Structure 1
Amino acid sequence: AQTYRQSGTDYFAGPLSLQATTDAATCQQWDRHFVITRQEINAFRAAYQADPNNLNLGNYPNVASWPAINTTPGFDRFLAPFVDVNGDGDYTPAAGDYPDVLGDVAIWWVYNDKGNVHTETGAPSIGLEIQALAFAFSTTDQINNMTFYRYRIINRGTLSLTQAYMGVWVDADLGFFSDDYVGCDTARGLGFCYNGDNYDDPPTGYGSNPPAIGTDFFRGPRGDDGQLMKMTNFIYYENDFSVRGNPSNPIHFYNYMRSIWKDGSPMIANGGNAYGGSGPLTNYVYTGYPGGATQASACPFNPPAPGWDEASARNSPFDRRYLQSAGPFTLQPGAVDTIVIGVPWARDANAVYAAGGEGRIGSVCLLYQADDIAQALFDNNFQLVEGPDAPEMEIVELDRELILKWGYKNPLSNNYRENYIQRSPVFAAQGFRDPYYRFEGYLVYQLRDARVSVTDLQDPNKAALIAQCDIKNGVTTIVNREELNVPGQPQPLIVDKVMVSGKDEGLFYSLRVTEDKFAEGTDPRLVNYRRYYFMIVAYAYNGDTANKYVRFILGRNNVRAYEAVPHKVEFEKMGTVLASAYGDGIKISRVQGQGNGGNLLRLTREAEQQLFSPPYRANPVTYEAGAGPFTIKVVDPKLVKPYDYRLVVNVDTTVRDTITSPTGEPVYLVKEWDLYGRPSGSGQPYQLLYTSW
């Protein structure tokens, strides 16, 4: 067992050999924490995907030094988790392998209980190796105030561990260390600490309406019946050496995990301190909602029933420690068990969820909500909403001009045909009527250089927004809210940040670029034979009225920098001559159908003459270039061929749009259409070139 080494040490750095041995050199070699960020992993993966032959591992030191493989003879080869891209069973970053971790920042380390004498408990060593992964997410909601811990526990010894318990020891020292209360929620499997009064004393305290913090077994050990266990015991003890105080020998540590006091007496649900007196035996202490029925009625997040808590027990706030455990279970020699623990934190700074201004109790209420969110995140395998995949971009290089065009070719993309929709487990846990994010639009950036990543897009010195488009659905400006905890301030600072100013004019899929947003001097025009870099991202929106914090999310996947070099085109393909330019329209002839598609129509002179001359009919009806019932324009002048095209619309698949015309009439969208083509003047049958369905 281990507290914070108040009186000794039971665990030591490094793995154990397959014979459960270690030495000082191994301990020294592994006496460190390995830190990795999602940003570094993503940058590494993007660089490898862009050019695997010129990958500079020096730019990704934590990926390169990730301790995935132990080459020491007699030890298990595999340590820190990794993605084996080439499937060769080794960790080879040069071949694209990278750490397999959770969160936006993660810390991995390994330790054992056989490196030396147990000076904390005085107990003999067991032969345990523990591989730990701590991780957290960078978000603008409650998840930002949580940390998570995954422990892979391996019995390297030769004996079966029977009647074993796994315990989490917590000395929260919540602000000022000597004014704390503790409690638990048995239904959630949550142990927690909160302030004993509504003012947390300086110099380390939070001031008025202090927060609460908790720990939860999301995945406990596997019991002998094969079922995963949650919290089976919750006990507190004081920072003293009384019968309810600090443990000092092996049986004290073991008994605390079984809800037994130092003198061997069991916990009693006596309404007081759980020691002695009359009442039933219990494995859990202080299970009621703090503050009684009045406070419970102010909490909307399914609190436990009021009853036994530290205030009702008339305890004085003190330097409390608590221990929550799960057991008993058996760990056979060579067996592996995995424990996952979450640590949520919450603060009701304005006493919204408490009666009588008792924000410290409201913080416990918010902690229940935070724990439910954390549990939902665990149930979703810690996968946050990814957002819509970015489309593939192609760039047409012309004389002092670039044409950016984008779309989705991969049917496995989560935004193929712009159908992205993803349920947020966090919103679902909060009871939102609409817990789904849906694709909303695109943002196109010019980057200063190839080193700029998606995390730099808000830095005007590194990225410039050159285009934005979104679905025409009434959604315009999207704002995310953050609450920043400022040291010394009694309440968090609320910041509303405009994430996108949507034009609400519909989507487009190409862009003509003629100016350099990072040009120096007075001439902003693109320069031939100079490298330019661009990035496109897709974003999604959730407009549920209960969502005050994260309405806008950027897609995380398929985001990369694209390079282009403008140049003269006449040197291509032994002399290229362009007969069109970006944006040029073409003449359209209507063979069948009616309507204008909401566009301004302009007939050719020949069509007008036919309509005003006997028999006053034109078939087909031909429109001037760019003035037909639907819009067609040249996007890539290099690909325009002398073809005749035929567009066939299936009118039986029209669907009513969510918007109306300016006159209030309904607008209908065509769901299915086909494009055919043949070389001009060839007389050949038309061939299918594209279908929308």
Structure 2
Amino acid sequence: MKTIFTFITVLATVFSFGQVLETLDKNNVSLAASADGHLFNAQASAGYEVPKGSGKHLIFSQSLWFGAKDPSGQVRIAAQRYAGDSTDFFPGPYSSNGSYDDPGYINEYIPALWKVSKADIDAHINEYASSGSVSNPHPTILNWPGNGYQALGVSPDQAPFVDLNSDGVYDPYVGDYPAIKGCEALYIIMNDTKSAAGGTGTASLGIEIHILMYQYASLDFLNDITFMDIRVINRGGTDLVDFVTASYTDADLGGFNDDYMGCDPMRNVVFTYNGDLYDEDNGSLGYGEGPPAVGVMYLNDTMSHAGYFTSTAVGTQSDPTTAAQYWNYMNGRWRFGDTWFFGGTGFLGSTGVTSIPTNHMFTGGYDPLNLSTGTVDPGFDWDETTNNNPAGDRRMFFTADQGKLLAGEELQIHQAIIYGRDSTKTSFENVDVMLEVADLVQAFYNSGMDVCNDPFASVSSLEEELFSVFPNPTNGKFTIDIPTITSELRVEVIDVYGQIVYSSPITENETQIDLKESSGLYFVTVIGNGSYRTTKLMLE
């Protein structure tokens, strides 16, 4: 619900001639985002700062890519990289009658950025609880886009909200409020349909994209994390097949031209780290000694492909500029359609390359099951350091094959941007620090808890665990050892998709478990006395 005001012309002018940005900086991360497809690119400058206020940035730009085939077999793409690109994404929800330039649409939905805090929501809830109504809702709650205006061709199903009287209408005066996660959240709505042919030149997919970015202010690892819940709805009426989603990140770690890329297929993480031990200033502030590693991870999906390109590379390994080139990268091929191969730079003919095709670049020692090569064992670990690749301006991406997205259907993609730095470690060792954080983030996500509601919802670091698991890795049979049991305890084993695959009370100091599940990464959580501890378990 949004109060109509008279400055429509002014708002439209501001939006038309400049990128409208909103910040999210509740924790140690300060990010800038817009609803034109550029998530962390602030007026062509880096837009993801960690630590907040340091002037040092992990990410220069990030965006989402979507691709599919229509019933005639034609490829449709919505993708872009930087604020200077011609755009495939536009602020605001999909309009079935093309009302994008209607003053009512502009007033109601542009710039399509809504920020709200848990503190304001709590105050709203408390006022309703005490008086049975809310006389003057906070503007961020009042303006929340809970419903769409059908006269503007907008679906009534928009941003999620708590509907106290279950009437389907968002009305904060009778107590309704935004349904968010975290201590503060930024909600973005985009479409790919305002222009019939976007920057990549294909027909639009007819999709509406909702992004809930949220952060937790905490005293632990969560203070450095940004979560993103992405909802993609096929509003256009065309069935889409071979639907692929991708997340593109130009992760300039301080100085931009000395980075490496890698991935962990087991954890569904793609990451960037510094290519040497010291991150110099180079057009932006560097991180100096022991620079961090930054990653993007799927929390509820499987990484189908993870790849990269470099701004200074030869044409076939450089940035995509056409729909066909985006489609090639999104399907695990080089820019012009060449196959990815394990070793070297991933390109056939490069030094150190094999003849084994791969779906994931630079897996290092993080792919013990050889997921990247279809279980074929190449006989060696492959990363940029062992291959002595020259560091550079790496741009990384990872994809998830979604199959079909039929007319009216939607899908949910949950991601997190993770950070790892130990000042006593090197840039290469900080990759492992970052991946340890990835395990904690995954466990926190799997728990379904909200740290702003539950004071015990913080997962401990691995060094603080009160129990041990052995052997690890295991063939399925393992023991949980708890030296002292002082309360009722329960153990849960959770897979990477958040499904509880085993649950049982703990009554002995040593508990034997025989887990009959497929190989992969799992999380063992011991719960009791209002808190819990988690560690990872590798099942071979």
TM-score bracket, normalised by the shorter chain, equals: 0.5 to 0.7
* Per-residue Cα deviation, 1:86-134 (whole angstroms, up to 9, x for no partner): 2222111111111100011101121111112545322221111111111
Shift of 1:44: 1.5
**2:145 aligned residue:** 67
C-alpha contact (below 8 Å) 1:287/1:307 kept by paired residues: yes
Shift of 1:541: 8.9
C-alpha contact (below 8 Å) 2:112/2:190 kept by paired residues: no
2: CA distance, partners of 1:429 / 1:341: 22
1: CA distance, partners of 2:259 / 2:195: 35
C-alpha contact (below 8 Å) 1:16/1:22 kept by paired residues: no
Determine what percentage of the aligned residue pairs are the same residue: 30
**Secondary structure of the structure 1 residue equivalent to 2:400:** strand
Q: Unpaired segments of 5 or more residues in structure 2?
A: 1-78, 369-378, 469-528, 536-540
**2:298 aligned residue:** 217
**1:32 aligned residue:** 112
C-alpha contact (below 8 Å) 1:174/1:205 kept by paired residues: yes
2:115 is the alignment partner of 1:42? no
1: CA distance, partners of 2:449 / 2:339: 38
State the AA in 2 paired with 1:23: Y
Of structures 1 and 2, the one scoring higher in RCO (CA 8 A, sep 6+) is: 2
Distance 1:253 1:27, change over 3 A: farther
**2:324 aligned residue:** 251
2: CA distance, partners of 1:285 / 1:543: 35
The match for 2:395 among 315, 321, 346 is 321
**Secondary structure of the structure 1 residue equivalent to 2:93:** coil
2: CA distance, partners of 1:149 / 1:426: 19
The match for 1:206 among 287, 293, 315 is 287
State the AA in 1 paired with 2:409: A
Distance 1:316 1:348, change over 3 A: same
1: CA distance, partners of 2:285 / 2:461: 36
**Secondary structure of the structure 2 residue equivalent to 1:152:** strand
2: CA distance, partners of 1:208 / 1:306: 29
The match for 2:264 among 169, 185, 197 is 185
**1:309 aligned residue:** 383
Distance 1:20 1:247, change over 3 A: farther
Distance 1:382 1:20, change over 3 A: farther
**2:14 aligned residue:** none
1: CA distance, partners of 2:380 / 2:356: 18
2:249 is the alignment partner of 1:149? no
Q: Unpaired segments of 5 or more residues in structure 1?
A: 221-229, 294-304, 352-358, 389-421, 436-539, 547-693
Aligned residue runs from structure 1 range 143-542, under 5 A: 143-202=222-281, 203-220=284-301, 230-240=302-312, 242-269=315-342, 271-277=343-349, 278-289=354-365, 307-351=381-425, 359-384=426-451, 386-387=453-454, 424=457, 426-427=459-460, 432-433=465-466
C-alpha contact (below 8 Å) 1:169/1:322 kept by paired residues: yes
C-alpha contact (below 8 Å) 1:30/1:110 kept by paired residues: no
Distance 1:428 1:364, change over 3 A: closer
Shift of 1:144: 0.8
**1:595 aligned residue:** none
C-alpha contact (below 8 Å) 2:290/2:423 kept by paired residues: yes
Distance 1:543 1:382, change over 3 A: closer
TM (norm. structure 2) is 0.65
Pairwise CA RMSD of aligned residues? Answer: 2.7
C-alpha contact (below 8 Å) 1:84/1:97 kept by paired residues: yes
2: CA distance, partners of 1:428 / 1:176: 30
Distance 1:72 1:196, change over 3 A: same
2: CA distance, partners of 1:326 / 1:264: 18
* Rg comparison, structure with higher value: 1
Shift of 1:430: 6.6
2: CA distance, partners of 1:237 / 1:378: 30
Shift of 1:204: 1.4
* Per-residue Cα deviation, 1:529-585 (whole angstroms, up to 9, x for no partner): xxxxxxxxxxx99799x9xxxxxxxxxxxxxxxxxxxxxxxxxxxxxxxxxxxxxxx
2: CA distance, partners of 1:20 / 1:154: 17
Distance 1:361 1:289, change over 3 A: farther
2: CA distance, partners of 1:218 / 1:171: 20
1: CA distance, partners of 2:234 / 2:463: 39
The match for 1:8 among 69, 73, 86 is 86
1: CA distance, partners of 2:195 / 2:256: 32
2: CA distance, partners of 1:137 / 1:247: 35
- Out of 118-127 and 378-387, give the one that drifted further: 378-387
C-alpha contact (below 8 Å) 1:199/1:206 kept by paired residues: yes
Shift of 1:315: 1.1
Moved over 6 A (4+): 428-431, 540-544
Shift of 1:381: 2.1
C-alpha contact (below 8 Å) 2:197/2:203 kept by paired residues: yes
Distance 1:306 1:82, change over 3 A: farther
Shift of 1:155: 0.9
Shift of 1:427: 2.9
C-alpha contact (below 8 Å) 2:216/2:452 kept by paired residues: no
1: CA distance, partners of 2:290 / 2:97: 49
TM (norm. structure 1) is 0.51
C-alpha contact (below 8 Å) 1:105/1:135 kept by paired residues: yes
